[in-house]
Amino acid sequence: MQDRAEQLGDKVVYQIYVRSFNDSNGDGIGDLKGITQRLDYLKSLGVDYLWITPFFTSPQNDNGYDVANYREVEPMFGTMEDFDELSREARARGIGLMLDMVFNHTSTSHEWFQKALAGDSKYLAYYKFADAAPDATAENPGEPPTNWISKFGGNAWEYVPSLNKWYLHLFDVSQADLNWDNPEVRAELVDVIKFWKAKGVSGFRFDVVNLISKPEVLENDYEGDGRRFYTDGPHIHEYLQELVREGGIDGMVTVGEMSSTSIDNCIRYSAPRYHELSQTFSFHHLKVDYLNGNKWALQEPDIKALRNLLRDWQEQMTAGGGWNALFWSNHDQPRPNSRFGDCSTEECWRRSSELLPTCTHLMRGTPYIYQGEELGMTNPDFTSIDQYRDVESLNYYKILQDEGKTPEEAFHIVCERSRDDGRTPVQWDGTLNAGFTTGTPWIGIPQNHVTINAKAEVADPDSVWAYFHHLICLRKATPVVQKGGVHFLDAISDKVIAYERTVEDAAKGPSRLVVLCNFSGESQAALTEETVAGGSAFVSNCDDFKFEDGKLVLGPWAAVALAW
């Protein structure tokens, strides 16, 4: 098996959230043809793979992550012919397609679940059903099988009176968890992989895949919300190895979204010797602004904790032969410059938008760019709850008020945390609908699209887009970035993240990099002058760094990599 650095070290992935990327037919919703129309833009940016969020048949209760048929294209996104054209045109430009497979659950509209509801014993065994009490009724179903909490709020079990059974839904009530202990289910999902692989797909992203293996004995969680019982579950590695082996995807680019996972498990998920996936998404670093671990309780980002988490995942995954997917942003996260930076002025916005990719793109792993991130797109700053579409956000707006928050307090929290913050349409130009659609967009467009847009930035050599393009070019040209070791440095300020990359056999480029990032709106001391003596600037988002009293001091939101 090829070493991960050799396989993935020079690759960059771009995530497309289909409904918000580009609308080709004026219905206000992005589609597959819209992606094809923008392939030259993506080629010019320099990305290697497109991770495309689910475009399969779906009632869209969770924007496509509630799949009703894995082998059909949802009509709002186009046709199978549109997909074939996209696949063909992407391949012609040297870009691979990575499809997003939602295998933990299906929509309750899926044929399998509908047959289960009809009492078909074969399909009842496709899902996680549990018997209710013999005297249960629709009006009084009794206690659910466990007290586990859905990740979208409320209990994770739903009672079905006609069956006198409960089904598990770790997410929305319309997303029923599959029973991976059933070999017929696993075989069905292998066939789905083979179907898309035959259509020329180059890779797969697996949604919340470390939740697929549930415990045999169901029990209440009196310490938390239940996740400790099903996260990285009892047969997870066995099931992943089977899926990869039987699906014939061991040599392909595959990434697993790993919810509340551990480093040890992610080494097993991604190290070549285990024949599971090629890389993992972990989210611990995106919880450093959760007060007491609660997503819906705000605090300022804890940069010291962020530094420690990045250090642990970088150094320990490297030592174990694992491989990290590097990211700040996706369709489930607020925009990172609004979250970890400062967008109050144009200069702070630019620096923040370039600080973040400097930090991750020079790490060991595969960088992911979420659509619009390369433009510096920000949170939308909506002014009314009516502007939000996300089921989780709308649920928590109510839950937060039920917990005692005022409507204003609840709305402020939703504004900071909503998944819709990252789901507003890509800002292609400064026209009324940002060049996204000729119709009415499915969700509102930030007012700042007039200045933050692709048309303006691609033509500007000093733009955020140009900076991202430069980072991609550096990765492709520089062995120390692709495959170098990584070691975090003890920065003087807790607001500075500093690490070192080194490689012994650099045929070209530097053999050592020191990367320094100031996550602060004030100047901060980074390292002693002795530590970085002799280094020259490799890449930086400003010239605001200098030596003072024997220390290298970084200006606000400054990022620099020094090379030897």
| Residues known to be catalytic | 207, 257
For residue 336, the SS3 value is helix
15/327 Cα distance (integer angstroms)? 11
d(CA 325, CA 203): 14
Element (H, E) at 203: strand 203-206
Q: Provide CB contacts within 8 A for 212, sequence distance 6+.
A: 103, 104, 178, 180, 233, 236, 239
Strands 175-177 and 157-160: unpaired
> Residue length, the chain?
564
CA 494 to chain centre: 26
* Strand order from edge to edge, sheet including 96-101: 279-281, 253-257, 203-206, 96-101, 49-52, 13-16, 366-370, 325-326
Residue 527 tokens, joined: 């390292």
Enter the DSSP assignment of 3.
-
Sign of the four-CA dihedral 324, 325, 331, 334: positive
SS3 sequence of 36-66 = HHCHHHHHHHCCCEEEECCCEECCCCCCCCC
Cβ atoms within 10 A of the Cβ of 131, count?
11
